Amino acid sequence: MRRSDRLIGMTHYILEHPLELISLPFFSSRYNAAKSSISEDLAIINRMFKKEGIGYVESVPGAAGGIRYLPQYDEDQSLEFVNSLAKRLEDPERILPGGYLFMSDILGEPITVRQLGRLFATAFAPLNIDVVMTVATKGIPLAYAVASFLNVPVVIVRRDPKVTEGSTVSINYVSGSSRKIQTMVLTKRSLKQGATVCIIDDFMKAGGTIDGMKSLLKEFDATVAAIGVLAEAEDEEDERIITDYTSLLQISNVDEKNKHIEVKKGNFFTTD
Amino acid sequence: MRRSDRLIGMTHYILEHPLELISLPFFSSRYNAAKSSISEDLAIINRMFKKEGIGYVESVPGAAGGIRYLPQYDEDQSLEFVNSLAKRLEDPERILPGGYLFMSDILGEPITVRQLGRLFATAFAPLNIDVVMTVATKGIPLAYAVASFLNVPVVIVRRDPKVTEGSTVSINYVSGSSRKIQTMVLTKRSLKQGATVCIIDDFMKAGGTIDGMKSLLKEFDATVAAIGVLAEAEDEEDERIITDYTSLLQISNVDEKNKHIEVKKGNFFTTD
């Protein structure tokens, strides 16, 4: 097979298997090429991925070695992307009762959601995440996007204990903003004990929901390695019970009466 | 830029923008190459995509022309994939009360879900779908996977009218299996009038939920161009109120008592 053909096939394969260790012999036999040719192909792919701002291909040395694709989002491109998203969200028509923001249209765009997933993966790829967790419903698309770049499964916590999926673990928690007691349920067989978890959600106010997920994860002896939220409400900062998180957007000065809102980039871009 | 570099960049770009019309001048300026070189590149990419079984690149002639990537799933590979999925699902431990099947682990795997999305897209790509619709919660990942290959947005119908997203349209429907009256809600601004819609869900018994979505869509003057379900319960066939749908899997002879279940490939593979 010609190099040009191999590069196309390998690019597709690598993109579909982020963070996965792929051995050189695998590509050798798949494309019927010498290991030295495959190595050269991978060097070209690595260089071009960097140029396109979509990450890089890292060599894993040793007998059981190979390569791994680390998905990343180029800094300039990601800033541009998030700034344009912030602009779209600043539309006062998006203000919903209770200081929430209408984001369903944006979270309904698969390409946008994939870009958001790639952004979180840029931050979380080195953390050896086993599983991405979210709570139904709005965080689900985002959680899948992150998980697809981290190449790990998603587990979904439900607020509705009626779902029949066998035995469950449930906890009660106090919603930070409404101060109401709510319930969260996770099917026992959906999460192994001792997993390293990344929590993803679309919106964080005081953080009660995320705190609830953390409590639930304790029941599974899990480690919370990362918390990612698309947007945080900055006005609620004083009451926040979650401190260690990554946000892509910060929403502030929501004024329902005068129809005003400010959206700026989140701590993903300001902490280092 | 060298051909090898261009092929990698173009492969990534094309894969991320299925069904989208991309002009040759776009690639020419992005990779600083003559239109004739870009044409040759696209011929190579088209040939290799076919070889890899992931679809093809079609030429759209005319002044406003260009190319479009039609994602497809090679027939042999898709049969192999669905057969292995059927085998995993035939595990009697998966039987849930009421004739349901535990599939959350499988629907939690981003790579599997993407493959399912590619399969549906193979069938639905020619239908000029504007939007993919599903009902919360379990169909959401599948709906996004289909939508990402069709390059269209997702709208999510809720069973919970408490969600505050502005004015809504709601309908009552009779759940086919439980014969209970249930409610379904869609935010008005989430769907334009007159859209061509693809309905996606994870599981269909009698089809009451999907019939409910169809009724809801009538309120938006929408056309239902396709209905895709991951698994249909064949035992319910006599009571089915939905007849025109595409299923990837058929589940039959569910015997809760004796812990037995049969899973075979759906009508996606038997009709054409």
* Closest by Cα among A249, A154, A139, A147 to A200: A139
Cβ-Cβ contacts under 8 Å for B248 (sequence gap 6 or more): B82, B85, B116, B119, B120, B228, B229, B230, B231, B265, B266, B268
Query: Hey, are the CB atoms on A136 and B137 less than 8 Å from each other?
Result: yes
Residues of B in contact with A17 (CB under 8 A): 111
Residue of B nearest to A14 (CA): B12
Per-residue pLDDT of chain B (272 residues; tens, 9 = 90+): 899 999 999 999 999 999 999 999 999 999 999 999 999 999 999 999 999 999 999 999 998 899 999 999 999 999 999 999 999 999 999 988 877 788 999 999 999 999 999 999 999 999 999 999 999 889 999 999 999 999 999 999 998 766 567 788 999 988 766 678 889 999 898 999 999 999 999 999 989 999 999 999 999 999 999 999 999 998 877 788 899 999 999 999 988 889 899 999 999 998 65
Of A8, A54, A148, the CB nearest to B7: A8
- Rounded to an integer, what distance in angstroms lies between the CA atom of residue B154 and that of residue A160? 23
Residues of B in contact with A102 (CB under 8 A): 165-166, 189
Name the residue type at position A87.
K
* pTM assigned to the model: 0.95
Three-state secondary structure along A76-108?
HHHHHHHHHHHHHHCCHHHEECCCEECCHHHHC
Residue of A nearest to B167 (CA): A96
Pick among B4, B6, B8 to test the A interface (most A CBs inside 10 A):
B8
Is B31 part of the contact surface with chain A (CB cutoff 8 Å)? no
> Chains A and B: how many Cβ contacts under 8 Å?
146
Is A105 part of the contact surface with chain B (CB cutoff 8 Å)? yes
Residues of A in contact with B102 (CB under 8 A): 165-166, 189
Residues of A in contact with B156 (CB under 8 A): 104, 108, 137
Residues of A in contact with B136 (CB under 8 A): 136-137
- Rounded to an integer, what distance in angstroms lies between the CA atom of residue B181 and that of residue B172? 6
Of A49, A109, A165, the CB nearest to B96: A165
Per-residue pLDDT of chain A (272 residues; tens, 9 = 90+): 899 999 999 999 999 999 999 999 999 999 999 999 999 999 999 999 999 999 999 999 998 899 999 999 999 999 999 999 999 999 999 988 877 788 999 999 999 999 999 999 999 999 999 999 999 889 999 999 999 999 999 999 998 766 567 788 999 988 766 678 889 999 898 999 999 999 999 999 989 999 999 999 999 999 999 999 999 998 877 788 899 999 999 999 988 889 899 999 999 998 65
Give the burial string for B7-43 (b: 16+ CB within 10 Å, else e): bbbbbbbbbbebbeebbbeebbebbebeeebbeebbe
- Rounded to an integer, what distance in angstroms lies between the CA atom of residue A40 and that of residue A34? 10
